[in-house]
Structure 1
Amino acid sequence: MRRNRYPKELKEQLIQEAMEAGNATQVARRHGIDPKRLYYWIRESQHKGFQEAPAEAKQIAPYVPSSQEFKRLESENIALKKLLGEKTLEIQILQDLIKKKNPSYRKN
């Protein structure tokens, strides 16, 4: 199976035409190429801006919560830990009851 190579100018022209028309499938069929290939070119062209951006623009600043938000998160964390402890205790009690009722039950 022979692979077709398309010039960069043709790709850019088809991408532009598809964007203007709003229907990439129709543009691809009109030019005799696979619609999936044109969709791939469109997706690839949208990411070129990110690839060409300088490294400083790609860096993500670390998130630092405000003091009120930190306190809210801390209290929520404490409440969740308490809830987890209660649920773990419930599970342990239920497992003990199952063992007493059915001695052949073994936890793997």
Structure 2
Amino acid sequence: MKRTKHSTNFKLQLVKEALETGNKAAVARRYEIATNMLHRWINEYRDGKFGDVQMEQIPEFDSKAIAEENDQ
């Protein structure tokens, strides 16, 4: 199985959606990623590993673009 490398923007947008909705499992299922991977990204966001990015700085969510990026 080929390992997928997701962009930082993709990760941040999923983190934003998961934190706003409070439903990490549903977000992970919607984008076909493992729930534990989304948890890891959330922890990395909270630890500042994506840089000094605030929730307000994450671009508006575009589910179509995210889905297309996930398919690549």
Q: Which runs of 4+ in 1 moved over 2 A?
A: none
Bigger relative contact order, structure 1 or 2 (CA pairs below 8 A, ≥6 apart)? 2
Distance 1:48 1:20 in 2: 18
Name the structure with the higher helix share: 1
Query: Deviation digits for residues 34-69 of structure 1, max 9, x if unmatched?
Result: 1110000001110017x86xxxxxxxxxxxxxxxxx
Distance 2:18 2:41 in 1: 11
Structure 1: tracts of 5 or more residues without a match: 53-108
Aligned position for 1:10: 10
| Alpha-carbon distance, 1:3 to partner | 1.2
Distance 1:45 1:17 in 2: 13
Equivalent pairs, count:
51
Aligned position for 2:23: 23
Q: Which one has a bigger Cα radius of gyration? A: 1
| TM-score normalised by length of structure 2 | 0.64
| TM-score normalised by length of structure 1 | 0.44
Aligned position for 1:98: none
| Alpha-carbon distance, 1:20 to partner | 0.5
Aligned position for 1:37: 37
